[in-house]
Amino acid sequence: MTQPVTYTRERVVEAAFELIREGGWSSVTARSIAQRLGSSTMPIYSHLRSIAEVERALRAKARALLKEFQSRPWTDDVLLDLAFRYIAFTRDERYLFRFLYIDRPDVVAEGELSGMEGFFDQEYADRPEVSDAVAAVGPGLDALAEHSWIFTHGLAMLLSSGSIGKCSDERILQLLQNAGQAFYLMVMDRAGKPTEERRDGT
C-alpha cells in the first residue's frame, strides 16, 4: 500500500510563498496551497491551523526577503542603499510588497516612527556599517528618518500602483538623494545648526 506523502511546515509555508509571489495574497487559500503541493488540505491544517497563521508565517518570510534585498550594496552610501533597495523590492517583488503594505498592512501607531536609532540598532544589529552611518547623522536622526521613510514608502507606493510608470534606477536614486538632502537641511534649520555644520558644506 502506498504511504501518503507528508509535508513539513516549511514546505507548506514555501508553497504559500510561491503562490503569493505569483498571484498575490488573494491567491493564497488552504485549497490552493494543497493544489500546489498535490495533496488534500489536511497537511495544511496539521501544520498551520488557520489562514491567519499562514499570514503570519508569510509576513515573516516576506520581511526576511526584504531585509536581504536591503543588504545588497548599490552605492557607497549605506543609508541610500537601504532606501533604494526598498524600492527595488517594490519593483521586483510587487505582490510581496502589496501583501505587506496594501493587502495586509501592519498599522503604524502614532509615535512608532520616533526612536529610530534604537530601531536601526535592533533591525541591523548584524550590519555595523548601518550603525556607523546612523551615528554619523547625529542629532535630528529621528526627524530625518521619519521624513525619509515616508517619502521612500510613498514613492514605492506610486511605483507599485503604476501611477508614475516605470522609473530608471538613476531616476530613483536622484529622487531619493534630492529628498534626503532637503530633509537634512530642514532638520538642520529646525535644530538651529550653523550653515558650516551642514552635511553638504554649503
Going from N- to C-terminal start, the domains of the chain cover 1-49, 63-197
- 46-56 average pLDDT score: 80
Decide: 134 and 166 in contact? Cβ < 8 Å. Answer: no
Rounded mean pLDDT, 6-12:
81
Specify the range with the lowest mean pLDDT, choosing from 32-41, 47-56, 104-113: 104-113
Most confident of 69-73, 153-157, 167-171: 153-157
Q: Is the pLDDT of residue 3 over 90?
A: no
DSSP annotation string for 152-200? HHHHHHHHHHTTT----HHHHHHHHHHHHHHHHHHHHHHHT--GGGSTT
**Mean pLDDT taken over the chain:** 82
Instruction: Report domain 1-49's class.
Output: mainly alpha
